Structure 1
């Protein structure tokens, strides 16, 4: 599967929908594309839809942690949406689920 990020907005959040793996090959692009939008949006919530991500490695986790740090500088919150079970387990094992908010759907944001 190709790595693609599409962007949209709704009344609650700026949404980045990710398709493909967030790994060493794609993590820098993932982080860069979302950070590029942080200055230009007025929404306080950046929802990252991971429903089409089936694999994430340590580089991908690092990119997400970097996004959290960067979002705080911009006074925004990153919320991860629709994590597949294997991705959710990785967040639980690494305890990242304690520092980043996850929701099942955009309506829960």
Structure 2
């Protein structure tokens, strides 16, 4: 699994998930990598370009990540979803749970100074 983190100028952490699937087979690795990269950050974008499939375990991992960030006053924005993954999120009504942006730029701009997010915790 490849999960890279890049800190943007506005303090937003962008995680790049470069994996075909987010499922039960790689769930533990995803969670461990995400934990090590996020640390105390509150503004996180997950770039899902290239992800073609997410199962219920993968959705659970994303929900867990969102809850962790929400617990410290932060948020998670997902972006660059494939059509198949976006369709799954809409079918499961997860588009009502997660903030989803079309592009990485839009996702990063979702964190504005007025929200208090975007700065390091």
Scaled by the length of structure 2, the TM-score of the pair is 0.79
| Structure 1 equivalent of residue 13 of structure 2 | 14
CA distance in 2, matches of 1:33, 1:72: 19
Aligned length: 105
CA distance in 2, matches of 1:76, 1:5: 20
Q: Stretches of 4+ moved more than 4 A in 1? A: none
Give the superposed CA RMSD: 1.4
Unaligned runs of at least 5 residues, structure 2? 108-121
| Structure 2 equivalent of residue 26 of structure 1 | 26
Deviation by residue 1:71-95 (Cα, 9 ceiling, x = unmatched): 1122211110100000001100110
CA distance in 2, matches of 1:92, 1:39: 29
CA distance in 2, matches of 1:89, 1:37: 28
SS of corresponding position for 1:72: helix
Structure with the bigger RCO (C-alpha within 8 Å, sep 6+) is 2
How far 1:40 sits from its partner (Å)?
4.0
| Structure 1 equivalent of residue 74 of structure 2 | 76
Bigger radius of gyration:
2
CA distance in 2, matches of 1:39, 1:104: 26
